[in-house]
Structure 1
Amino acid sequence: MNKKKILYVEDDETLAFLTADNLEQHFDVTHSNNGKEAFELFCNSDFDLCVLDIMLPDMDGFEIVSAIRKRNEEIPIIFLSAKTLKEDKINGLKLGADDYLIKPYSIEELILKIEIFLNRSQKNSIGTHQNYNIGSFIFEPENFLLKTGTKKITLTERETTLLKLFLDNANSVLKREKILNTLWGNDDYFSGRSLDVFISRLRKIFKDETHVRIENIPRVGFKLIIE
């Protein structure tokens, strides 16, 4: 069985050696110690997941994520960083990272996170060819697409997963913890902030649909109401 391909970007020589040595027991790892070089590698190779430091020469991790997301909205990205400020973590997630581990990190936790995201990406074919009717919209999960009339809205993979989760549980309460664990594999504060951003975007999309709404259930979660 072919190993999944990981782009690992870290300029600390000792840390990079130790981490890459462990990752290579499970994955096909390409290491770079330079941000600009890393992005060029990404553009010219077919990776399954990226693991990025933030403070890098020539192009920092935030810039790399922004550039990657312009080309590929689905590939999982994990930050590994010594930057511990809440604002840095939130910024990293808003730019499009899937997770943010603070140094020093557990190699076992990193490998587990990688496996979770790789398994989730593999499942997102998205596991069904079924389309959904949502008011005047047609939702095509397989194509990450919402259509109404001549209008087309392209969703990210995570937005697609969230909307499909709501639809599969329409008119029922979805606990916040279940949503967070389905989308991120954890229910921490930073994932919760990202979830709120996604919920807000879905609400804006459906704001003119009088029979479709996402309700807050205080201290519990959310409910997609379709009347």
Structure 2
Amino acid sequence: MNKIKVVLAKDEASLGMIVKESLESRDFIVFHAENGDEAFEMYQKEKPDVLVLDVMMPKKDGFTLAKEIRLENKKIPILFLTAKSQTVDVLEGFNHGGNDYLKKPFSMEELIVRIKSLLNRIELKTNIDTIKIGEYSFNLTKQTLEYTSEIAQLTHREAQLVFHLFEKKNEVLDRTFILNKLWGSDDFFNARSMDVFISRLRKKLKKDNTLQIINIRSFGYKLIC
């Protein structure tokens, strides 16, 4: 199995080296940059599998760097490391091309899980047109759920929600993350809207009684598959 190549952009040299060495001890290849310009050069030279970007950096901040990279590469996973936790900051990260964010302080275990999750997501989108979910066939591109000969057409948001639930199957899909990702905000009204979407998906998946979408109170949802 090929090692995962990471460009880590973090201006705190000592902490950056700790993260680098921790990842390398777990069989990653890590290129550490201490500012945005250096990170962009490493991205172009090393062709990494994933970018882990601190938001606050000298010369070029993480959001600006991600925006520039997205002009030439729409697919590479970008994960932001940030002390900012307000909804507006999270949304800004997504709007600049980020795929995920991790709040400081964080554990190495969580960072590794998030990196691998992003790479699995890209692999699914790239290599699998139709995904088997129990007895159903799910097509993200066509936004359809097929059971035997019956085909249900999904809305764009329903299809994205199914995809993220499947990606985290048998694990908890974080409520705040998916609200910010698909609804743009984790406010009360959007949360109620998502509950309605979950109810619709339960009905559309009910023909396979081995499938369940369960509510993990205050945390999110889990697709039992």
TM-score w.r.t. the length of structure 2 is 0.67
Residues 144, 153 of structure 2: 8 Å contact kept: no
Confirm or deny: 8 A CA contact 1:65 1:95 kept in the other structure.
yes
**What is aligned with 1:220?**
197
Distance 1:189 1:45, change over 3 A: same
Whether 2:164 is the aligned partner of 1:180: answer yes
Q: Distance in 2 between matches of 1:39 and 1:22?
A: 22
- Structure 1 residues 182 and 53 mapped into 2: Cα distance closer, same or farther (>3 Å)? farther
**Which residue number in structure 2 is paired with residue 64 of structure 1?**
65
Per-residue deviation at 1:219? 1.8
Q: Residues of 2 paired with 1:69 and 1:176: CA distance? A: 21
Deviation at 1:39, TM superposition (A): 0.9
Q: Aligned with 2:60: secondary structure?
A: coil
Specify the alignment match of 1:143 in structure 2: none
- The 2-side partners of 1:2 and 1:21 are apart by 18
3-state DSSP of counterpart to 1:219: helix
Deviations 1:166-194 (A, max 9, x none): 22455267598644334688333243232
1:167 to 144, 148, 152: 144
Instruction: Give 3-state SS (helix, strand or coil) of 1:38's partner.
Output: helix
- Given that 2:129 and 2:140 are in contact with CA atoms closer than 8 Å, whether structure 1 keeps it comes out as no
Pairing 1:10–2:15 present: no
**C-alpha separation in 2, matches of 1:6 and 1:60:** 18
Give the distance between the partners of 2:175 and 2:97, measured in 1 at CA.
Answer: 17
Query: Aligned in 2, Cα 1:106/1:90: closer, same or farther, shift over 3 Å?
Result: same
Unpaired segments of 5 or more residues in structure 1?
130-160, 198-215
Distance 1:193 1:15, change over 3 A: same
Residue 121 of structure 1 deviates from its aligned partner by 2.1
Structure 2: give runs of 5+ residues left out of the alignment: 131-138, 185-192, 202-225
- Give the letter for the 2:73 counterpart: N
1:139-182 deviations in Å (ceiling 9; x for gaps): xxxxxxxxxxxxxxxxxxxxxx8444x22455267598644334
Which AA in structure 2 matches 1:171? A
Question: What is the match of residue 75 of structure 1?
Answer: 76
Give, in whole Å, the separation in 2 of the partners of 1:104 and 1:193: 21
Confirm or deny: 8 A CA contact 1:79 1:97 kept in the other structure.
yes
Length, aligned pairs only: 175
Write out per-residue CA displacement over residues 107-131 of structure 1, whole angstroms, 9 at most, x where no aligned residue.
Answer: 10110111111223233333249xx
* Contact persistence 2:179–2:194 (CA under 8 A): no
Deviations 1:87-124 (A, max 9, x none): 11111012211111110011101101111112232333
Matches within 5 A, 1:25-64: 25-64=26-65
The CA distance in 1 between the partners of 2:160 and 2:5, in whole Å, is 32
Cα deviation code 1:37-61 (max 9, x no counterpart) = 1112212221100000010010000
Question: Is the partner of 1:186 in helix, strand or coil?
Answer: strand
Q: In the alignment, which residue of structure 2 is the partner of 1:101? A: 102
